[in-house]
Amino acid sequence: MSLHGRKSLLGGCDTGNPVDHCWRCDPNWANNRHRLADCAVGFGRDAMGGKNGKTYVVTDPRDDPVNPSPGTLRYGLAQDEPLWITFATDMTITPKHNLAVTSYKTIDGRGAAVVVGEGGGCLELKDVNHVIVVGLTVRNCRPTRQPDGAMSDGDGITVFRSTDVWIDHCTLEKCTDGLVDVTEGSTRVTLTNNLFRNHNKAVLLGHSDVFTQDKVMRVTVAFNRFGPGLVQRMPRCRLGLFHVINNDYVDWKLYAIGGSAAPTILSHGNRFLADKQKEITKRDDTSKSVWSSWTWVSEGDLMLNGAFFRSSGDGGGPDVKTPSFAQSASLMSAMTASVGVLSCKKGSLC
């Protein structure tokens, strides 16, 4: 069926964003929540979350790390079985220390205004797989003392040594360190439809230049909006392979896309709006004789008001092949019109 035909059948709700098109046109989305697990794109597309599990409803915003009560988010996240976690009502959760997310969990904030952080810890994925996080506001995350006595960094969502992770339609801002960190050999991760704003270091992908386990890292960053109020790391990459597809960059102070340790980066169909003539890219503390061999490709990007991308390498090979879901930068306004947390009401289109 043609795109025009799909629009007619769906009442005009098809924006060209393949993730949203997969589920947002269904007025019964609240009764078909598990359908979301079939909608991811990119390297994290196989993340199942709690697709095959029961529904667990969070009814209590309180947090007791020692003896979590049934009905709290921490209690649900601690269960060994797959769970699709939803929220009974609007709530703000201030974790006493980071919330440890276990494998095969979906944290689904759609239909409620759910805030995590606000002066406490936030979300930590460590040595897990198949996790989906959707529809949360994550803000004001602060360092907290963890069960082992160590202090956390105050990141919004931290992903350590984990695979098959998808973060969608979240709003992240004003944390102590990063908004999203993906490190220590994590791979098959997708970040889509998120709003990153009011922060310094937005998204870190890769632990350090010498942590060679991150060579396996494969991360897709698509359909997000970066800004206003951002400084750098949108994302900052190391060692692995990174697809940065159809994102809207409305503000950056130092740089938008950066990296070190020879990451491979495909930038496709993004819209970069600079406040003056300004470079999009940055290679940290590396001479041109070194970085000139790194594969950094700009393909179909829309660069406005003096924005410019410094490409390098020989164009790469199959690793930098444009993914099938990628769209033209001319569709950016429609594709990113609804980034961040959605105002979803049961019984109507989300």
Give DSSP secondary structure letters for 167-181: EES-EEE--SSEEEE
Tokens of 310: 């410094």
Which one, of 247, 291, 295, lies nearest residue 272 by Cα?
Answer: 247
Q: Cα separation of 268 and 242, whole Å?
A: 11
User: Could you confirm whether 233 is annotated as catalytic?
Assistant: yes
Q: In what order do the strands lie in the sheet with 225-226?
A: 91-93, 114-117, 137-139, 171-173, 195-197, 225-226, 248-249, 271-273, 302-304
* Rounded distance between C-alpha atoms, residue 112 and residue 52, angstroms: 23
Beta bridge partners of 260: 238
Of the residues 24, 74, 142, 233, which is catalytic?
A: 233
- DSSP class per residue in 83-131: EEEEESS-EEE--SS-EEEPSSEEEE-TTS-EEEETTS--EEEES-EEE
Grouping H, G, I as helix, E, B as strand and the rest as coil, residue 281 is: strand
Separation of alpha carbons 167 and 165, rounded Å: 7
Q: Tokens 């949203």: give the residue.
A: 20
Rounded Cα distance between 102 and 320, Å, is 32
User: Strand order of the sheet with strand 54-58?
Assistant: 54-58, 83-87, 105-108, 129-134, 163-168, 187-192, 218-222, 241-245, 264-268, 296-299
Dig out the tokens for 79 from the structure: 């269960």
Q: Which residues are catalytic?
A: 233
